[in-house]
Amino acid sequence: MNYTLHQLRVFYEVVQYRSITRAAEALHLSQPAVSIQLRNFQQQFDAPLTELVNRRLYITDLGREVAELARQILDSADLLEHRASTKGEELTGRLTISVVSTGKYVMPYFLRPFLAQHPRVRLSLDVTNRQRVVESLRANEVDFSLVSILPERLSLHSLTLLPNILFLVGHPEVDCGPNADLSTVLEQRPLIFREVGSGTRQVTEQYLYQRGLPLSPQLELVSNEAVKQAVMAGLGVSIMPLIGIRNELELGQLSILPVPGLPVRTEWQITWLQDKTLTPTAAAFLEYLRLRGEEIVAQSFAYLAAYPPE
């Protein structure tokens, strides 16, 4: 075989994103350049590593095995590069993080100063649904994952970054009165759910179950943004994390509906496998979060303490 580290990195990113286009964006390459490298790499195997079905890219069993080996080789290469750096204090290597969709409002604030301090660190940030985040964590495809509810049946370490506060919100014209409960509100407006498996969906269902309310959604949407737009359009109400609706609340496009038992609180946590050996880059990022996490929360998320507004 005659593969290169560059080809391994290209193939690994394609597997991570399940998309040549998104891999190209992450690698800062053109789509044709990624396609050429992927084709040259696949030609060295007797069986296909990927399959294109109805314009969707699928990874074969062999492809997944090769991707795991590629990850190990790339981690070793990053470690070697770090050790051989001409400046002992200069951090190099790759940092891979998977983030649940609403976490896109959280993770960049913790990454920006770290990457500014270590410009040679290469970041791979996958913002996706919770199922994919858990899969990437279980398969040891990432250094860390950001979640608001820890996955079950996985042996994990975790570090809490900040609270995740969820309110019932609706269109500003919705007025449920000061003492209404959710059942009263739902007599006039349907409750909009996130998709099955999302952390927000789990919180919503637990809240309903504790109050003996029906768990069957009339409306179910697959992203926080979609739910937000639906609520703003007056299609219904929803239990939503404050982290993703702050601007709309301040602009008067959404309003918090006061009902008993809300807000609900969970925690945004960075998590990683218990038996995982962290690369120097990942270990440095974790230490940075432990040292500066509270400072970043105070600077960028102080508004969390101001809700509900008096």
Give the CATH number, domain containing residue 262: 3.40.190.10
Domain count, the chain: 2
Confidence grade of residue 86 (pLDDT, cut at 50, 70, 90): very low
Nearest-10 Cα torsion for 97, 103, 107, 108? 110
- Domain ranges, residue 241: 163-266
With respect to residue 208, please indicate whether it lies within any of the assigned structural domains. Answer: yes
pLDDT of residue 310: 46
Say if 232 falls within a structural domain.
yes
The yes-or-no verdict on residue 122 having pLDDT over 50 is yes
| Domain presence at residue 227 | yes
pLDDT score recorded for residue 32: 86
Q: Inform me whether the pLDDT recorded for 199 exceeds 70.
A: yes
Output the pLDDT for position 306. Answer: 79
- Check pLDDT > 80 for residue 1: no
Phi-psi region of 212 (alpha: psi -120 to 50; beta: other; left: phi over 0): left
In a domain, 95, yes or no: no
59's enclosing H/E stretch is strand 56-59
The pLDDT of 286-309, averaged and rounded, is 89
Q: Which of 65, 84, 103 is the last residue of a domain?
A: 84
Nearest to 157 by CA among 272, 42, 44, 279: 272
The last residue of one of the domains, among 84, 107, 134, is 84
CATH of the domain at 40: 1.10.10.10
Q: What is the pLDDT of residue 308?
A: 66
Tell me if 151 is assigned to some domain. no
Last residue of a domain, one of 84, 113, 146: 84
Q: For a pLDDT cut of 90, what percent of the chain falls above it? A: 47
Q: Is residue 8 part of a domain?
A: yes
Q: Summarize pLDDT for 237-246 with one digit per residue, the tens.
A: 999 999 999 9
Please report the pLDDT score of residue 83 as a whole number. 60
Among left, alpha and beta (phi > 0; psi -120 to 50; other), residue 28 is left
- 131 lies in some domain: no
Mean local confidence (pLDDT), 41-56: 87
With 0.85 as the threshold, say if the pTM is over it. no
